């Protein structure tokens, strides 16, 4: 029997959209595919899954997973904060915006000037804030998508956010990252281990990640 059987998993996935005006927003290329694969694999292992999902273009179709749909980073923060306490494992797979417009225009911004400046403010770092209130029995998994000094940046996030393990992607690896069906990961954990995996489908990568979670739950 899987060690995830009857465990409650809270999972974030997809992008966030930070509105500029009624018709425009700031976002990123996240498709939510890695989060979808993790949710499906967790259900196969007998876990109860709550997905907090940003606005993906493809819907998530597994009816056994409870889904909270959000748009903005603030909405994702609120959803995770409101539900985190009742969950054994939290997986932060979403690509959350780091910044959001300070002011949202009430009407569509017209193209008048040659230059246009947009003032941005930091969003709350969900994994960092939840890491401060995580209980001793909760297990948390972060994700880091990096373009340089990958392992150093991932390790910094692991420690800063009080994570138990972090899944690192490098955009320098062709076939890894956003909007593809494959992934190539490195896992770093709080015990100091660094484990590299080959390029695989996201479904197979989800198995590797959850195998690692089960191993650490020992």
> Which residues have a catalytic role annotated?
28
Residue matched to tokens 């225009």: 105
Integer Cα distance of 121 and 189 in angstroms = 31
Beta strands across the sheet bearing 8-13: 66-69, 48-53, 8-13, 89-92, 139-146, 165-170, 185-189, 194-196
């Amino acid at each position: 029997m899987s060690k995830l059987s009857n465990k409650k998993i809270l999972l974030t996935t997809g992008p966030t959209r930070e509105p500029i005006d009624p018709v425009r927003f700031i976002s990123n290329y996240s498709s939510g595919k890695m989060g979808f694969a993790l949710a499906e694999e967790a259900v196969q292992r007998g876990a109860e899954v709550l997905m907090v999902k940003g606005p993906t273009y493809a819907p998530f179709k597994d009816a056994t997973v409870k889904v909270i749909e959000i748009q903005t980073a603030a909405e994702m923060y609120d959803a995770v904060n409101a539900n985190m306490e009742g969950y054994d494992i939290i997986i932060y797979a979403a690509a959350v915006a780091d910044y959001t417009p300070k002011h949202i225009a009430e009407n569509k911004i017209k193209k008048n000037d040659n230059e246009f400046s947009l003032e941005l403010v930091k969003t709350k770092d969900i994994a960092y804030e939840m890491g401060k209130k995580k209980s001793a029995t909760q297990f948390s998994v972060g994700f880091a998508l990096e373009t340089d000094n990958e392992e150093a940046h991932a390790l910094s996030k692991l420690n800063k956010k009080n994570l138990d393990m972090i899944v690192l992607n490098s955009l320098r690896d062709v076939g890894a990252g956003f909007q593809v069906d494959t992934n190539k990961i490195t896992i770093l954990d709080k015990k100091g281990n660094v484990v590299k995996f080959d390029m695989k489908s996201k479904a197979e990568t989800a198995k590797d990640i959850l195998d690692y979670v089960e191993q650490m739950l020992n």
